Chains A and B, each alone.
Chain A
Amino acid sequence: MRNKTSRSARRSGRRGPLASIVLIALGLAATGGAYVAFSSVSATASIDLSSPAVIDEGSKLFAANCATCHGMQAQGTANGPSLIGVGSAAVDFQVGTGRMPMQAQGPQALKKPVQFTAEQTSALAAYVSSLAPGPSIPTQTQLENGNVSNGGELFRINCAMCHNVAGAGGALTEGKFAPVLKGVAAVHVYEAMLTGPQNMPVFNDLNLTPDEKKDIIAYLAYNEANPSPGGLELGSLGPVSEGLFLWIFGLGSIVALTVWITAKSN
């Protein structure tokens, strides 16, 4: 049967059933590979943000998902700020970390599972950046090979007061907080500095130069790659969690020891 088919395939110039399996496998591998490349590098690596087709796609997504609060022309409403001039970096940060679309009005938009695919996020970014010029998404080379020690000094001066010296985050006023920086993609850290999302101040390129931003990212990456050798960081929160731990377990074991010392041996 198979022989017959392959013979007839050769004769007719058509593909046999095995060939289609191979083709499907190739297609899957290519899609998967492309997806991996896509998600690991940057959402914009292969998408041209200035192409009219992408912008058009983005404007449709915007009208369906964002316009309720931000207005049909992204001009802003009582429920959400104007997005004119915020640039693609702000969109990639807010949508790419799941903060937008916002679930509910509150002290602060919370990080949650990302609602859009990388392509959709890029399309939205393309649309918003087509409205007016603004900070754009950094390229991969802007995120690599920073100076850790300089980054540490800059981080302690500009960031550590809110985000904690180990990047463990901290409380602000009235329910707001500075989020944990562990596990945040370098591109999102860069975009956050550039655009100042929510209550974070803006650190534009004249305040922290692109090289300095790179250094800060390198410092965060170094911190993440070198955890506490004792294994128990207690959230890196410093005296609060460490003091609580000692009160409970340190004093607890002292009480247990005194009970043991004074108990009669059996």
Chain B
Amino acid sequence: MAKNESGPADIVPASGHERSTDVVLGTAVVSPDAFPDPGLPPHRLRVVDTDPKAAKKAERVVYALFYLSIVGSVFAVFAYMFFALDPNDLNSVRLNNLYIGLGITLSLLAIGIAAVHWGKAVMADHESVDERHPTRGSEETRARAIEIFKEADAESGFSRRSLIRNGLIASLVAFPLPAIALFRGLAPMDVDPNNELKHTMWEKGLRLTRDPSGLPIKASDLTIGSAFQVIPEGLADLPPHERLDAKAKAAVILVRMKPEELNWTSAERESWSYQGIVAYSKICTHVGCPVALYEQQTHHLLCPCHQSQFDLENECKVIFGPAARPLPQLPITVDSEGYLVAARGFDQPVGPSFWERLN
């Protein structure tokens, strides 16, 4: 191989015949006009190599940056200590975060820039050539490697003692099983997840209440064009964790339209509404975002995540976007005091598809 030394005298146009003495003619395609090796460009001195003042300056810049990094670290500590958090002022939290972040940024960035500048401007600068060795081992080494494998197999009996070998493979396969069992333990305790996904809090006679106060809603509270964000009665009194779990499934949007604007496929579906008041699950059937962007004039419900649109005039059927099913409707009626109540629970699981959902 030609050495990579600079100088045009060394550069010989590489012709296939000179380079490939060990290649049998006819097995390799070697271009006769291969690109000549340009060698290395001539060494160029840097400013810091010729001007001692510039060298001094580069040195100063590097250590100044390291000290600046220390300033940044100290600043971050002081920012944490002295930009105290005032519980009554949200801005104090933001300022605290901002200054800590600026301090840490300064400390890391200055180290990085200083290190690069050190390497580029202060450290010695000369080109050198590292020859690349062939990656293929010699024939003896390769033959010896195969021999070692064979010896190891003969001495350990890996091929011969099949019971031991199969035992090893089986034990390795069994080893990750406890992890799978442990992950199963992350599922809700003592409940059937399938059942959890299929049922919400809604049941016959449960009042529709306002989110977040939990106050019941009278049919007369809704005027044409009204939209209420609704949770089932009792949800507001649950402990916080359970409340969120229940709300994630049971959230409902309640709107009032002119009864003549509602088109129904059956008299039974019509009976699920009350004088133009309809209640639909707010959980998108695509991936479960809350669908609450209600347009009062067009009666469209828009999901903000993937732009699925549901038409309230036609039983919330999908008119645009990736959702596959209409939003489930909550059958409603009024109780003896005029409050809106659920006539029954949802007739199908709310929200996105899951494995065991049958349609």
Q: Which residues of B contact A176 (CB under 8 A)?
A: 295
Nearest CB in chain A to that of B224: its residue: A202
Q: Is B293 in contact with chain A by the CB < 8 A criterion?
A: yes
Q: What does the 1/0 interface line of B286-317 toward A look like (CB < 8 Å)?
A: 00001011111110101010010100000000
Nearest CB in chain B to that of A170: its residue: B304
Q: Is A161 in contact with chain B by the CB < 8 A criterion?
A: yes
A199 partner, pick from B44, B125, B290, B297, beta carbons under 8 A:
B297
Q: Is B271 in contact with chain A by the CB < 8 A criterion?
A: no
Q: Which residues of A contact B307 (CB under 8 A)?
A: 173
Chain A's interface size range is 20 to 34
Verify A261–B116 contact, CB threshold 8 A.
Answer: yes
A207-B228 in contact given A172-B293, A199-B298 (Cβ < 8 Å): yes
Verify A265–B48 contact, CB threshold 8 A.
Answer: yes
Q: Is A183 in contact with chain B by the CB < 8 A criterion?
A: no
A226-B309 in contact given A157-B211, A157-B229 (Cβ < 8 Å): no
* Interface-side segment among B91-99, B325-333, B337-345: B91-99
Q: Is B121 in contact with chain A by the CB < 8 A criterion?
A: yes
Q: How far is the CA of A173 from the CA of B226 in the complex (A)?
A: 19
Q: What does the 1/0 interface line of B240-264 toward A look like (CB < 8 Å)?
A: 0000000000000001000000000
Q: Is B90 in contact with chain A by the CB < 8 A criterion?
A: yes
Nearest CB in chain B to that of A212: its residue: B213
B300 partner, pick from A170, A173, A207, A260, beta carbons under 8 A:
A173
Verify B48–A173 contact, CB threshold 8 A.
Answer: no
Number of interface residues of B (CB under 8 A): 42
A-facing residues in B259-295 (Cβ within 8 Å): 290, 292-295
B226 partner, pick from A174, A202, A261, beta carbons under 8 A:
A202
A201-B229 in contact given A172-B302, A226-B90, A261-B116 (Cβ < 8 Å): no
Verify A204–B46 contact, CB threshold 8 A.
Answer: no
Q: Which residues of A contact B212 (CB under 8 A)?
A: 153-154, 157
Q: Which residues of B contact A202 (CB under 8 A)?
A: 223-227, 296
Interface of chain A, main secondary structure: loop
Q: Which residues of A contact B297 (CB under 8 A)?
A: 198-199
A260-B116 in contact given A170-B304, A172-B293, A176-B295 (Cβ < 8 Å): yes
Q: How far is the CA of A206 from the CA of B213 in the complex (A)?
A: 13
Q: Which residues of B contact A170 (CB under 8 A)?
A: 304
Q: What does the 1/0 interface line of B214-227 toward A look like (CB < 8 Å)?
A: 00001011111111
Q: How far is the CA of A176 from the CA of B296 in the complex (A)?
A: 12
Verify A266–B46 contact, CB threshold 8 A.
Answer: yes
Verify B225–A161 contact, CB threshold 8 A.
Answer: no
Q: Is A200 in contact with chain B by the CB < 8 A criterion?
A: yes
Q: How far is the CB of A88 from chain B (nearest CB, A)?
A: 17
Q: Is B78 in contact with chain A by the CB < 8 A criterion?
A: no
Verify B98–A265 contact, CB threshold 8 A.
Answer: no
Q: Is B324 in contact with chain A by the CB < 8 A criterion?
A: no
Q: Is A162 in contact with chain B by the CB < 8 A criterion?
A: yes
Verify B46–A158 contact, CB threshold 8 A.
Answer: no
Q: Is B19 in contact with chain A by the CB < 8 A criterion?
A: no
B-to-A contact residues, CB < 8 Å:
44, 46-48, 90-91, 94-95, 98, 116, 120-121, 125, 210-212, 218, 220-229, 255, 290, 292-298, 300, 302, 304, 307, 309, 320
**Can you identify 21 A-B contacts, CB atoms within 8 angstroms?**
A157-B212, A162-B293, A172-B295, A173-B300, A176-B295, A178-B293, A202-B223, A202-B224, A202-B226, A203-B226, A204-B221, A206-B218, A206-B222, A207-B210, A207-B221, A207-B227, A229-B95, A230-B98, A260-B116, A265-B46, A266-B46
The 9 closest A-B pairs by CB, nearest first: A201-B227, A206-B221, A199-B295, A202-B225, A265-B120, A161-B292, A229-B94, A202-B226, A196-B225
